[in-house]
Amino acid sequence: MTSTVPTSQRSTDASRWLKANRGRISLAAFFVFVLVYSFVRMDTDDFFITIIRGVAVGAITFLVVSGLSLILGLMDVLNLAHGELYMLGAYVGWTIYVRPDTFLDAATPIALVLSALALLPLWRRITSQWPAGKWPRLVVPVVSIVVGLVLVAFLFTKFPLSIWNPDVFTEAPTNDALALDAGTQVVPEHAGFDGISPLLGVIGMWLGGAVLGIGIAAAVERKAEVVAPKPERSSYVISAGVAVFALVVLAVNNPLTEWWYGLGTTQRFFLALGLTTVLAFGLGMFIEVVFIRPLYERLLYQMMMTLGLAFILTETVRTIWGRPSFTMPKPAAFNGTGEGCPGEGLGGLFSGCGTIKLFGSRVRMYNDVLIIVVGVVVLVAITLLLKKSRLGMTIRAGVQDSEMVETLGINVRRVFTVTFGLGVALAALGGVMAGPALGLSTGMGASVLLLALIAMAIGGLTSFSGAAVGAVIVGVMQQLMIKFGSVGISLPGLEEPFKPSPAIVPVSVILLMVVVLLVLPHGLFGREE
Amino acid sequence: MTPLLDVQGIHTYIGQFHILEGVDFSVGEGEIVALLGRNGAGKTTTLKSIIGLTPPRSGEVVFDGEILRGKHTYDIAARGIGLVPEHRAIFSALSVEENLRLAERRKGDLERKEEFIFGLFPDLKRLINLPGTNLSGGQQQMLAVARALVPDNRLLLIDEPSEGLAPVLIEQMMEAIRKLSSQSTVLLVEQNFIVASRLASRYVIIEEGVSVAAGDMADLVNDEATIRKYLGAA
């Protein structure tokens, strides 16, 4: 604003700005009031630690909601399986971390099936040349899907797999976690192929996947008389690469297991974190191509599909890892005890202690510091990706109008696939990060999804920065309410301070969402359509 | 000589609505052809059918001798067709430069075309770092046209370039379209008959989803009966 503008006009500008932003201003005032009231009501160190914990909950929520909002914004898909993918991430991460031998054993057969499925474009090309009619269009797909599944399932039991058994107490996964934490874990004995030759097992597994892939390809709805395009070379390369990976893992299974068990918990944890994120990226792309893409333009069906997927994932996890919840040991570098612990002040951050004293509060290195750091790193990385890269540019444009992006000659579907993979990878990363802090349970997905949906609504559905702010607001609000459960809120007209019971905590967050949406129907950062 | 674009009896549905019921015309290399007709006649749908956003259910669209049936929009566009949609569909979340960058098909397209584009629309050079939301209506329209010029498009589908522009800007836009037609063939949808008649060398009239008349623009200008019948008072 230049000085030549008359004062009267400046004030109208200011009042116009005030009027346009009155909803945001009143909400900001409300949040400030909540913070100030909490500060007055609580001890200073209590207040401080509650805010930090709130931000940590916000960081985990953010990892889930960032993918959710990217996917919703770009593809109009509300992925109700996102919470369960977060849960799956936690369980897979736990497995790679605590039982790398099981992960390595399972990797070979799974990779063989995936190698065959990666040729789906080839199978589509073949099946699209089949004549129309009941047999090739209906009977063959059903039969080959069933045969493929049976073959894969049967051979899976023949592959060597050393695994826990949730139904037997002494072999339950809980014990593995406790053993790793106590440093008493021994390398489990390696099993061999069960009654078949490895060569037969490997070939059979791949063929099972191929039969399954042909069934899926034939079952997919076919556009009239159009022969599917020739598969791109990349699908052959991916397929071959995955197959080679499977065989290499099979060949060096034993020495690799020995090496892996020799690593410290910190290395094992970050190895698990990275591997799970990469695997989740692939799984996300697979889900998009197989389950979401055929249902484009049918939004309700897509949502039902993701809901169904959520239930299937929950039951799968229950079957493999069992119903009881269990723990995930904290990596040693963030769990030190003994001499010199807890560390003091900011220098304590690098002391390797499990807890440090900061501003008079006990701050837990893993739960309160590492999680926030990872959240911030992801926030910065994704922001840079969106702002600086061509992919990010395409995503931002696609959020606004994906058809128009396509008319520029850009294959938007491929961007959809990558974005879905990215969203699932972030959710899984969140799951692995949450594991050591919150423990693993089959209900963890549903509870984080609720928080994420609320954070998304508060932030403005498709706004990425809004999702980040919403997640922190939700996390802090939740932790403050928990704290007020013991401190109490003094309300006028009440003799005793009102103490919210634990059951009220989730309700209070939902209430917050209702208030925000009543004041700002598009959320804090949402744009009006 | 085979035409660059040949639209052969296309029928297009949107949902259950039969929008195009037989549209036939062709566009030769280097021409400017105007699609005329009343509101809702199916002109925009014709453009969308060519680029595959609303694929025709029957009939063929042939571009440069190749049948486009069954191809995805991105694939059709990559063959050298650019769409300038109505209502200036630029990406408001992106800066002017990013809007242009996004249209690159090969790295460096923008650098190669920069001089030509900013020659047509000098304003854009000044606004290059501004977010799309901050542009005026006219500037958005210029950006929408400029975006289609970044890659080497052989055919431009331009939908209502003069809509909602001030007279002075309409002149500027017409000048730009005339200049860019030296590099690309243009298929133009235009409500403003005066603009269309001054730009295009040939015309196609669409009436209720059917192409009913076509010919040289010079003949149409003097044919008041046809103008009144299909386009209302000119």
Cα A111-A193-A216 angle, rounded to 5 deg? 35
What is the DSSP track for A428-466? HHHHHHHHHHH-B-TTHHHHHHHHHHHHHHHHTTT-HHH
Residue A420, pLDDT score: 96
What is the DSSP track for A330-375? PPGGG-B-STT-SEETGGGGGTTBSEEEETTEEEEIIIIIIHHHHH
DSSP state of A222: -
CATH code for the domain of B136: 3.40.50.300
Distance CA(A167)–CA(A319), nearest Å, equals 10
Q: B42 in the Ramachandran plot: left (φ > 0), alpha (ψ -120 to 50) or beta?
A: left
Say which of A399, A404, A409 has its CB closest to residue B151: A409
Average pLDDT, 10 consecutive residues per value, chain A (529 residues):
52 80 88 91 89 95 94 91 97 96 94 93 87 77 93 93 88 91 87 88 95 88 67 91 95 93 94 97 92 84 94 95 93 84 78 82 90 96 94 92 92 93 97 96 94 92 88 94 87 82 84 90 77
Please name the residues in contact with B156: beta carbons below 8 A apart, sequence gap of 6 or more. B81, B82, B83, B84, B148, B149, B180, B184, B185, B186, B187
Structural domain span for residue B184:
5-231
User: Chain B closest CA to A35's CA: distance in Å?
Assistant: 33
Q: Which residues of B touch A464 (CB under 8 A)?
A: none
Residue B233, pLDDT score: 55
Distance CA(B110)–CA(B98), nearest Å, equals 10
What is the DSSP track for chain B? ---SEEEEEEEEEETTEEEEEEEEEEE-TT-EEEEE--TTSSHHHHHHHHHTSS--SEEEEEETTEE-TT--HHHHHHTTEEEE-TT----TTSBHHHHHHHT-SSTTHHHHHHHHHHHH-HHHHHTTTSBGGG--HHHHHHHHHHHHHSS--SEEEEE-TTTT--HHHHHHHHHHHHHHTTTSEEEEE-S-HHHHHHH-SEEEEEETTEEEEEEEHHHHHT-HHHIIIII---
Residue A244, pLDDT score: 96
Please name the residues in contact with B4: beta carbons below 8 A apart, sequence gap of 6 or more. B27, B28, B29, B63, B64, B154, B155, B185
Q: Which residues of A touch B71 (CB under 8 A)?
A: none
Q: Among B91, B110, B129, which would you mutate to test the A interface (most chain A Cβ atoms within 10 Å of its Cβ)?
A: B91
> In this structure, is the dihedral angle defined by the CA atoms of residues B192, B193, B199 and B203, taken in order, positive or negative?
positive
Contact with chain A for residue B117, Cβ under 8 A: no
Q: A195 in the Ramachandran plot: left (φ > 0), alpha (ψ -120 to 50) or beta?
A: left
Chain B residue whose CA is closest to A412:
B74
CA B99 to chain CA centroid, nearest Å: 18
Please name the residues in contact with A485: beta carbons below 8 A apart, sequence gap of 6 or more. A499, A500, A501, A502, A505
Contact with chain A for residue B95, Cβ under 8 A: no
Residue listed under structure tokens 């209506």: B137
Give the pLDDT mean for B163-179: 90
Is-contact A121 A466, C-beta < 8 A?
A: no
User: Chain A closest CA to B121's CA: distance in Å?
Assistant: 20
A:B CB pairs within 8 Å: 61
Q: What does R_g of chain A's alpha carbons equal in angstroms?
A: 26
Q: Which residues of B touch A401 (CB under 8 A)?
A: 89, 91
Q: Which residues of A touch B105 (CB under 8 A)?
A: 409
Asked if the bond preceding A436 is cis, omega within 30° of 0, the reply is no
Chain A residue whose CA is closest to B57:
A224
Within 13 Å of residue A167, how many CA atoms lie on the same side as its CB?
Answer: 2
Tokens in use for B208? 């209720």
Tokens in use for A395? 């995503």
Residue A352, pLDDT score: 79
Say which of B74, B82, B147 has its CB closest to residue A410: B74
Chain B residue whose CA is closest to A394:
B102
Predicted complex ipTM: 0.91
Among B86, B155, B146, smallest CA distance to B118 is for B146
Determine whether the interchain pair B70/A226 forms a contact, defined as Cβ–Cβ distance below 8 Å. yes
Per CB distance under 8 Å, which residues of A are interface residues toward B?
223, 226, 390, 393-394, 396-397, 399-401, 403-413
Distance CA(B55)–CA(B76), nearest Å, equals 11
Q: What does R_g of chain B's alpha carbons equal in angstroms?
A: 17
Distance CA(B65)–CA(B61), nearest Å, equals 10
Chain B residue whose CA is closest to A402:
B91
Determine whether the interchain pair B102/A408 forms a contact, defined as Cβ–Cβ distance below 8 Å. yes
Q: Which residues of A touch B72 (CB under 8 A)?
A: 406, 411, 413
* A39-55 b/e (C-beta count within 10 Å ≥ 16 → b): eebbeeebbbbbbbbbb
pTM of the model: 0.89
Among A529, A279, A289, smallest CA distance to A428 is for A279
> In this structure, is the dihedral angle defined by the CA atoms of residues A513, A514, A515 and A517, taken in order, positive or negative?
positive
Cα A232-A236-A239 angle, rounded to 5 deg? 135
Name A344's bridge partners: A357
Tokens in use for A74? 């770009």
DSSP state of A161: -
Name A363's bridge partners: A356
3-state secondary structure of A326: strand
Tokens in use for B220? 């149409």
Determine whether the interchain pair B53/A408 forms a contact, defined as Cβ–Cβ distance below 8 Å. no
Residue A341, pLDDT score: 79
Split into its structural domains, chain B has a count of: 1
3-state secondary structure of A489: strand
> In this structure, is the dihedral angle defined by the CA atoms of residues A229, A233, A234 and A236, taken in order, positive or negative?
positive
Contact with chain A for residue B103, Cβ under 8 A: yes
Determine whether the interchain pair A399/B72 forms a contact, defined as Cβ–Cβ distance below 8 Å. no
Distance CA(A147)–CA(A141), nearest Å, equals 10
Among A28, A26, A83, A31, smallest CA distance to A60 is for A83
Burial of A211 (0-12, 13-18, 19+ CB in 10 A): buried
Chain B residue whose CA is closest to A414:
B74
Say which of B53, B70, B78 has its CB closest to residue A403: B53
Interface of B with A in 62-91 (CB under 8 A): 70, 72-75, 77-78, 82-83, 85, 89, 91
> Long-range contacts of range A345-348, CB-CB < 8 Å, 24 or more positions apart?
none
Determine whether the interchain pair B91/A396 forms a contact, defined as Cβ–Cβ distance below 8 Å. yes
Tokens in use for B135? 């542009």
Determine whether the interchain pair A223/B70 forms a contact, defined as Cβ–Cβ distance below 8 Å. yes
3-state secondary structure of A34: helix
User: Chain B closest CA to A4's CA: distance in Å?
Assistant: 22
Q: Which residues of B touch A407 (CB under 8 A)?
A: 51, 53, 73-74, 77, 82-83, 85
